[in-house]
Structure formats: structure tokens, C-alpha cells
Amino acid sequence: METFIADFVDYLRVECGASANTIQAYRGDLASFSAHLARHGIRTPNRIQQSHLLSWLAALKDDDLAVTTIARRLVAAKMLCRFLVNEGYVVSDPTASLASPALWQRIPNVMSPAEIEKMLSVKCESPIAVRNRAILELLYATGARASEVAGLALADVNLDARYVRCFGKGSKERMVPIGGTTSDVLKDYIAGARKTLARRRAAPNLFLSYHGRPMRREDVWRAVKELAAQAGIAKRIYPHLLRHSFATHLLEGGADLLAVQRMLGHADVSTTQVYTHVDRNRLVAVHKQFHPRA
């Protein structure tokens, strides 16, 4: 199981922008899960059954661990199993019917529009800087994941019709519209910086490395981090934070939840509903401001 857990930890670090402390916590929780599976002769994910999870949780309880610790470990196992399904390692999720404690349903962090504008306003002179700005523009305009942006081909971007064709988890295809500003930024990048980076290579990818090769999701993460540093933003900025901001800002502006679900590529609207906290917060603020007895 160690190889699969390592892949999952890499996903947390690169795709989700998890902090070092968070990654360390998940490693510890999943090491406990892996050790329990090994004691039952389970070394590959396709053999994991719900009974193994239940016996693991029972063993944790027998060890007198705190309820919150057991809940956290269950969440780690559920996230791992969901990742294994999404990556095609297993067909079904053995944790699907195990309810996660409500206390672990965290509200996503988001950037403010002013912070995003500050990053997009960084002066870009080199081809790499122009590329990084185009990556940031596209991440925020579409809510796409880092891996989806890294995998985009030139043919996936229709700047005249103003849409991008993204391929999400399980190679599910979705069309996401882009605005005129984003379209113009991409046109400038393709006509200028990308030609320089291509170095006469025939790479089909939209975004290229310094040596003209296709970018990886780690490279997209690094590009966003560099722009944040140049903009003087101290807090941790990562691609998935822009995805959270995309969804939050749309809902805050009155967008339909189902439309946001389709643009994000969520299979279940319940996954998108985590972003509706914005509407509640805004209503509380309005109530406090205008209600005579607030």
C-alpha cells in the first residue's frame, strides 16, 4: 500500500496545496491504516473491504484514542479510497457508506478578488513570466485543476468561441467558458511567449516549460507560487485555492449552484455545496447591517 499512499500524498501536496503539517498528519493516519491492512494480508487496494475499515476503527477505539483522532483517521482513509477510485486503481469505494463526522467538513479557504487582481497585475517581461500570468488567468477563469491546466492542448482552447475543453478525473470532458480578458491574455501568450518557449518543437500542449516541453502539475503549482511571491502576497497560494476562489466568487455573485457544479466537473452537487457558505456569510452581514434588532 505504500506506493499508493505515496501517490495520494503527492496529490495532496501538488494538487491540493496541503501544508507540510497536514501531509505529515495524513501520512501518520494512513500508516496506521496500512499497518492494519498488512496484518490482515492486504497489500493492494483492490482487496480492501469495508470490514477491514470497521475492524481498524474498532482497534483504534480499543487503543483508547480520542474520538477526534479516530474521526480524523477515518477521514484520511476515506480520502485515500476516493483518490484510488478517481485514479482508476479500484472500481468501488469501500468507505462510501461510512459517514464522515460533520466536524471535519471544513470550509475551503479562498482568495479575495483584490489579491487575485494583484497577482494578475505583476509586470511580465520574460516569456516564463508571461506564461505564468496566462496560467493564473486560466486557473481563475475556469476553476480548473492544476493537472487539467498542465494537460491542456492547443486544440482544447477555442479563443474565438471563448471556451476551454477540460479533461477531469476519469478523463471526463467538460466545456468551461472564458471571458474576453482571459481570451486576450491567452492570445498574447500563444502568439508571443509560447512561440519562444516552443523552440521549434512540435509540442501540442498549451503551456510549455523553459525547454519547450509539456508542463507537469508540479510546474503549474510552482508558477502560481512564483507569481504570488512577485505580487508580495505572504499567505500560501496554490492552484486549488484559485479553484476554490472561482467557485466562491461565482456563487457570491449569484451564479446557479448546478452551473458551478458543471464548470467544476463535480459528479455530485453535494461536493459543490461546500461553497454555499458564502451566501450564508453574506446574508449574516446584510442582516447585521440592516436589521433594526441585529
pLDDT of residue 103: 45
Given the C-alpha cell 509540442, which residue does it identify?
Answer: 203
Give the sign of the dihedral formed by CA 261, CA 263, CA 264, CA 265: positive
Measured distance CA(149)–CA(156) in Å, rounded: 10
pLDDT at 247 over 80: yes
pLDDT of residue 283: 59
Where does the chain have alpha helices with state H?
A: 2-14, 20-39, 50-62, 67-86, 113-120, 127-142, 146-150, 180-191, 193-198, 217-230, 239-252, 257-264, 269-272, 277-290
Confidence of residue 281 (pLDDT cuts 50, 70, 90): low
Poorest-pLDDT segment among 97-106, 114-123, 236-245: 97-106
Averaged pLDDT of the chain: 86
pLDDT at 211 over 70: yes
pLDDT at 167 over 80: yes
CATH 1.10.150.130, domain 2-104, yes or no: yes
Q: Calculate the alpha carbon distances from 119 to 103, 113, 218, 231 in Å.
A: 33, 10, 19, 5
CATH 2.60.40.10, domain 113-235, yes or no: no
187: three-class secondary structure by DSSP: helix
pLDDT at 139 over 70: yes
Question: Which residues are designated catalytic?
Answer: 145, 169, 240, 243, 266, 275
pLDDT of residue 252: 85
Measured distance CA(77)–CA(134) in Å, rounded: 36
pLDDT digit string, tens, across residues 19-42: 788 888 889 999 999 999 998 888
C-alpha cell belonging to residue 161: 468561441
Q: Calculate the alpha carbon distances from 61 to 11, 58, 94, 127, 258 in Å.
A: 29, 5, 20, 56, 40
Q: What is the mean pLDDT of residues 88-100?
A: 81
Residues in Cβ contact with 9 at an 8 Å cutoff, skipping those fewer than 6 apart: 23, 26, 27
Residue 158: how many other CB atoms lie within 10 Å: 13
pLDDT at 287 over 70: no
pLDDT of residue 197: 93
Whether residue 140 contacts residue 129, with contact meaning beta carbons closer than 8 Å, is answered with no
Q: Where are the domains of the chain?
A: 2-104, 113-235
Q: What is the mean pLDDT of residues 68-90?
A: 87
Name which of 170, 169, 142, 145 is nearest 158 in CA terms.
Answer: 142
pLDDT of residue 22: 84
Whether pTM > 0.85 for this model: the answer is: no
Q: What is the mean pLDDT of residues 46-70?
A: 83
